Structure 1
């Protein structure tokens, strides 16, 4: 490249510039209200408009070993009363809490008899953290220390704290360590696999450098786009995941082709030109398809998905830009130095290959039989793929049938909002949570009814709210303590009602349906001028699911149609584009079925170190679809490009498929191994939802790169045969890279005419960063 210094310098300067500018203006992040939709979002807006804040609620459980004969006897216990007074005093002394409540009257504490458990051995002190809920986690340490001191002072009682801020801190510490470990492992693991693939340190560093600079640059650009599409930490994690995937894949595709052309005898400049014309085109089509897949998330109308969509589209497009500009420039600048710092075993392999091709070696034993358009693929030795392609119909039916069978369990897929059961149950905070739930059912999963009226303190409004309370308790699914807060303007009442269930399970959803469908219509709605909306964890989950489920078909349709149109434009064949889309759908469906088999049952609990929740995280199916559809298209486009090249060189379709698959097998397998390894890291994280993401992505990529790309897709293309494309005029060898033309009227394998000696001696067999992995079978020795 004549302007390689400009390309490399421009890339580095651009990444540094957007990163600095992005850090100066900052990134707009999603607020709590941005996650709310439907009735839940309407209720949250009402609370915000009337001055309600959302402080972090905390609870201190005080439990004695023995059960009392009655609640009165329990509250008369001197040790229990002393502990209540001590806990309240220590909490008040921190200066970080407000609205203290206890089951007995204490100085500065509101008495609430509902804070006595029906188990007759547990009581609770509740309070709220002062200040902003978002910063409560940073200020919870003195409060935790006060409770711990009270627990030490009363060893005969169990004294424990659990709540929003304390749980966030405990979970943040655990999950933060998980993700830090994952991020620290992902890059070295990727680099290690690339070292095994290329056999040279410099060659292995190039794809990682491209991926990481694309990610860093994308973070800077996101700072600007976040004004329209606010983002969060989840979006950043997905950006890193996708950026690493596509950046490494595209560099692998490009470097592989450039090395292949160098080994075929082309000059460095010509090899790069051929790589740009072939792999560069495949990278562009693949990148646009991945971007379209991720952009489909915008149609959900959910802020969390919009942030992910915006970030991932940007990182993919930047990776494509880098692959088409700075990557060729770097390869041109490095030249053969890309093979510096070769690993010892690769050097030995190179020496053996060089010896085999040295002058004086008997050509009768080393000469090869080249077949038109094969360039290193011996069609007289078909291998496994060639044998399978002799019966493409049977192979397609059997393989497709097995994948459909694997997809069948997906019909029973059940989704749920990730709740407390998404967290490892061996954490101390989770054990405290379980004890509070057992003593005070529903306390941690309250539904919040937001009642609006001209004056909620008017007699009619008060009567309606009292009726709501009575009906709720009479249902047997809602419990004390029910608390009511009135806004300063008297127009809104916030009623908190503990409910049955874990918050997102069927029991909690039945309570929500009862509240919305029976109790509110019979108590609040009949009063003129009054209305009520339900919010809370259960309501938020239900409304999120409702909107997600309603928009999912739209997202899937959008992605399928645009992916088909892109493939149609790239390959000029409607039947090939339709087959590619169908195979990708089959890959995703099989991944869904595998998720159901593993995570909706208990047989893999011990293997993966979790307890099955009996459901799949609600955001995961759609996220898996767009990620898998995009990444699968990487391999799809690359394989189809090589098949099309071989077909245009004059080979019959079956031979073109065999050549295309063999030429692309090494790089597709290498890319898949990297992705499976990186995704597998997520299966080791603590959260069940992250395990589901890791297993789903890893297994699907493995299936896609092996069963579908190596077996099913070749069989389908062979069945399509000559209907796939019209024959193009055959170009000469210099224009088409390593392909050698065959006369259009002759479809039999031909021996090439003696070619003139190339201007640049070809690299010896096995030489280059791909030797030892990804090299295809050599021509048969006669």
Structure 2
């Protein structure tokens, strides 16, 4: 692993010798990447990319046989106030039917249907496969509503819900981008007290995100882009991009303050912080690679986008950042914000972190027990997590089409959750298949879980080899009884009715797909955790040459993940702080979020861990004992870690304010976990554990007797601190 140490130094030396080439090459790369996004349209995921289990096989079979249900829209008609006038409803439905039938993309309009107590009516519209958007249909619905002021005429369906969600995602992402930049810049001003120093990390993080979004467009033809991938790129890119620059810039300024020239300070920063950036960046990438084990279009797309932005940010930090620092020189500390500059300059090593560390280092066993008790206590609720796919209940209810879809499902249960039974058999057996499916439908409706539907629910392909039965489920998608209904259909109802046919059959539909996807996530979660922990062990073992440090790193990562899962369960599944965060608890966690939080959190927490442990090792290698090395190493890095955590928490908190519940879950889980990771774990549990490990994990050498040359200040100031610490003792 010696190349990890040599690469940042060599990159810094080249950049320092050719600063304009490095800077020009970086901005040319960013411009080229952004141009790709303009010229190359991204390839989005399709329904086929999300197929899994029996529901996936059913979807593929229906598509191949031409029985896949085309997209549809539904128009709900209710009274604006008082009782519903049947004559007015009939007139409005006739107007809708006449105009919708002539609209482009409409294949058929079904007759008006009333609910059980005749308080609502529904007109369903079947669209052609090539229907692209529902704008024209929405305008028709709005005009009919305007012509019938006594009625509420509202539309929702496949196209309009997708359009409403896409618009909200775009608006949320734009808001996150607009807010995250000034917030991050403000935090950097508080850290550095100078405008240029504050702007450099934000500039590199922003350009890294822009370049990644550009590169993601052509890459989407290999890995189709999931709708939330850009949110993930912004989330991870701003966090790691600012952190990496912060680590590097802080060390360079520290060395200049000790008397080193700009070139020497940049080289020392490359040798120390640059090494930490490379190790932690590779750890983040390795952790995110664990998402590929989870399979599925969502994880593959999110992992690809996140890995790409981490790689771009890492390259920027060890190449163009040294060039910028060399060209800026001491101008990096200009223009100064007077009050902030004085505060940041006076904030020394003997600050709050030193006071907190004193009892931790003095009583490590007690501190370790208290820290572990607090972290484990927050982690325990994770054992009660319930996972489920996103549903209407998790979508923002202030989107009109989402609210309308929920009302339609409530008034017309047959329009809600559905199960689809697909049978493939020779054409000669089709009459027997259809008869058995109708018997299955009757048996299912006789149970409390299924409800009857209008018309014949059995359809057959043109070649008579594939037959489909549609069953309506009484309960909402997120209701646990819906999963029970699918399980009963698969294990008893369908086998009793169809096994005697000797034909192949599968159970699909949205409800079955939700169950299959959730089950796959639960099955693969232990494998992803194992992969991430194993990689952490290997990478930390190679980086620090100590199996005890590697095991400690893996244990702390698991602790951070447990805290994140426990907090997400308490907030989003149990509904604590729901009003403050402006959401309604669905009673579960969206199934893909914990896996993504696991991979992202382990990777990001390694930033702090590598940075802190690397500094502790520097002191230990110079001859300090474990207690002194831990005290000085963590005190030196506490300010940087706190600043980096503040950036991450602020970025994640912005996503916690987004309206999509999955983004809110991810933002809250990561923000709380990073906050506790940077405080409880890095200032209490880690130092106490390192003190108890003693000198064993470190390769110690005798402190240098002679004064190091001025051009190699990496040892001289630290050796002086060794003497100061020994005298203080």
Q: Which of 128, 133, 137 matches 1:130?
A: 128
Shift of 1:699: 0.4
- TM-score normalized by structure 1? 0.85
Partner of 1:538: 511
Question: What is the match of residue 386 of structure 1?
Answer: 358
**In the TM superposition, what is the alpha-carbon distance from 1:386 to its structure 2 partner?**
1.6
2:185 corresponds to which of 185, 191, 199: 191
Q: Does 1:522 align with 2:472?
A: no
What's the counterpart of residue 61 of structure 1? 76
SS at structure 1 position matched to 2:415: coil
For residues 240-281 of structure 1, what are the alpha-carbon distances to aligned partners after superposition, in whole Å with 9 as ceiling and x for unaligned? 211111111110000000000000001111111111111111
Distance 2:354 2:307 in 1: 40
Listed one character per residue, the Cα deviations across residues 531-581 of structure 1 (whole Å, up to 9, x for unaligned) are: 222222211111111222222211111111111111111111111111121
2:194–2:341 CA contact under 8 A, matched in 1: no
What is the aligned counterpart of 2:714 among 736, 740, 746? 736
1:651 aligns with 2:651: no
Deviations along 1:142-196, one digit per CA (max 9) or x if unpaired, are: 2122223323333444432222222223333334322221221111111111112
Q: Which residue of 2 aligns with 1:6?
A: 21
**Corresponding residue for 1:549?**
522
State the SS of the aligned residue for 2:122. Answer: strand
Compared CA separation, residues 605 and 102, structure 1 to 2 (3 A): same
Question: What corresponds to 1:439 in structure 2?
Answer: 411
The corresponding residue for 2:108 is: 99
In the other structure, the counterpart of 1:231 is 225
Given that 1:261 and 1:737 are in contact with CA atoms closer than 8 Å, whether structure 2 keeps it comes out as no
Q: Kindly tell me: are residues 400 and 512 of structure 1, through their superposed partners in 2, closer, same or farther at Cα, counting changes over 3 Å?
A: same
1:443·1:499 contact (CA, 8 Å) conserved in 2? Answer: no
Which position in structure 2 is the counterpart of 1:367?
Answer: none
Matches within 5 A, 1:463-612: 463-479=435-451, 480-481=453-454, 483-528=457-502, 530-612=503-585
Task: Select the residue among 190, 194, 198 that pairs with 1:200.
Answer: 194
Checking the alignment, whether the CA contact within 8 Å between 2:572 and 2:585 is kept in structure 1 is: yes
- Give the equivalent residue in structure 2 for 1:88: 97
Give 2:369's match in structure 1, choosing from 397, 410, 416. 397
1:119–1:439: 8 Å Cα contact kept in structure 2? Answer: no
1:136-151 pair list within 5 angstroms: 136=133, 140-151=134-145
Deviation string 1:311-366 (CA, Å, 9 cap, x unpaired) is: 2212212221221111111111111111222213245669x98xxxxxxxxxxxxx
Inter-partner Cα distance in structure 1 for 2:170 and 2:432: 50
> 1:297, 1:306 within 8 Å by CA — same for their partners in 2?
yes
1:17, distance to aligned residue in structure 2 (A): 3.3
| Paired residues of 1:672 and 1:701 also in contact (CA < 8 A) | yes
Aligned to 1:691: 664
Segment drifting more, 422-431 vs 245-254: 422-431
Matched, 1:340 2:327: no
The structure that has the greater radius of gyration is 1
- Map 1:336-375 onto structure 2 (within 5 A): 336-346=330-340
Deviation at 1:419, TM superposition (A): 0.6
- Asked whether the 8 Å contact 1:651–1:747 carries over to 2, the reply is no
1:435 CA drift (Å) = 2.8
Which residue among 452, 459, 466 is the counterpart of 2:431?
A: 459
Classify 1:239/1:742 alpha carbon distance in 2 versus 1 (closer, same or farther; 3 Å). Answer: same
Q: Are residue 256 (structure 1) and residue 256 (structure 2) matched? A: no
Is the partner of 2:183 in helix, strand or coil? helix
Cα distance per residue 1:726-778 (max 9 Å; x no partner): 313435653534544389xx999445xxxxxxxxxxxxxxxxxxxxxxxxxxx
Distance across 1 between alignment mates of 2:40 and 2:263:
42
Instruction: Name the SS of the counterpart of 2:450 in structure 1.
Output: coil
- What does residue 5 of structure 2 align with? none
Q: Distance in 2 between matches of 1:696 and 1:88?
A: 48
Partner of 2:586: 613
The structural deviation recorded for 1:22 is 6.1
SS of 1:690 mapped into structure 2: helix
Distance 2:176 2:409 in 1: 32
Matched, 1:717 2:690: yes
Cα drift, residue 302 of structure 1: 1.4
Aligned to 2:3: none
Structure 1 pair 456/430, CA: closer, same or farther in 2 (3 Å)?
farther
Distance in 2 separating the partners of 1:328 and 1:456: 75
**Maintained 8 Å contact 1:742/1:750:** no
2:54 is the counterpart of 1:39: yes
Match of 1:410 in 2: 382
Does 1:325 find its partner at 2:319? yes
Structure 1 residue runs of 4 or more that deviate by more than 6 Å after TM superposition: 65-68
Distance 1:588 1:231 in 2: 27
TM-fit CA distance, 1:623: 0.8
Aligned to 1:153: 147
- For the 8 Å contact 1:471–1:519, the answer to whether it is kept is yes
Change (3 A) 1:737 1:232: farther
Quote how far apart the aligned CAs of 1:226 are.
3.4
CA 233–62 in structure 1, closer or farther in 2 if over 3 Å, else same:
closer
Quote the offset at 1:498 in angstroms.
1.8
Change (3 A) 1:748 1:2: closer
Cα distance in structure 2, aligned partners of 1:427 and 1:197: 40
TM-score (normalizing by structure 2): 0.91
* Distance in 1 between residues matched to 2:568 and 2:227, nearest whole Å: 25
* Aligned mates of 1:749, 1:345 — CA distance in 2: 31
Deviations 1:71-100 (A, max 9, x none): xxx9xx444433332221122232342221
How far residue 667 of structure 1 moved from its aligned partner, in angstroms, is: 0.9
The answer to whether the Cα contact below 8 Å between 2:609 and 2:682 also exists between their aligned partners in 1 is yes
User: Gaps (5+ residues) in structure 1?
Assistant: 69-73, 104-114, 354-374, 752-778
* 1:53 Cα deviation from its structure 2 partner: 5.0
More deviation, 336-345/483-492: 483-492
The structure-2 alpha-carbon separation of the partners of 1:570 and 1:298, relative to structure 1 and needing over 3 Å to count, comes to: same
Q: Matches of 1:311 and 1:156 in 2, distance apart? A: 50
Contact 1:410 1:592 in 2 (8 A): yes
Deviation readout 1:215-238 (Å, 9 max, x if unpaired):
233334434443432222322221
Q: What is the aligned length? A: 705
Determine whether 1:296 maps to 2:290.
Answer: yes
Unpaired runs of 5+ residues, structure 2, are 1-15
Equivalent position SS for 2:645: helix
* 1:118 aligned counterpart, secondary structure: coil
Give the superposition deviation at 1:462: 2.0
Partner Cα distance (2:142, 2:638) in 1:
60
Say if 2:246 is the partner of 1:276: no
**Greater Cα offset, 683-692 or 580-589:** 683-692
Q: CA deviation at 1:523?
A: 1.8
SS of residue in 1 equivalent to 2:222 = coil
The SS at the match of 2:116 is coil
- What residue number does 1:111 align with? none
**What's the RMSD between the two structures over aligned residues?**
2.7
How big is the shift at 1:500? 1.7
CA contact (8 A) 2:96 2:144 kept: yes
Cα drift, residue 591 of structure 1:
1.6
Which of 93, 114, 117 aligns to 2:115? It is 117
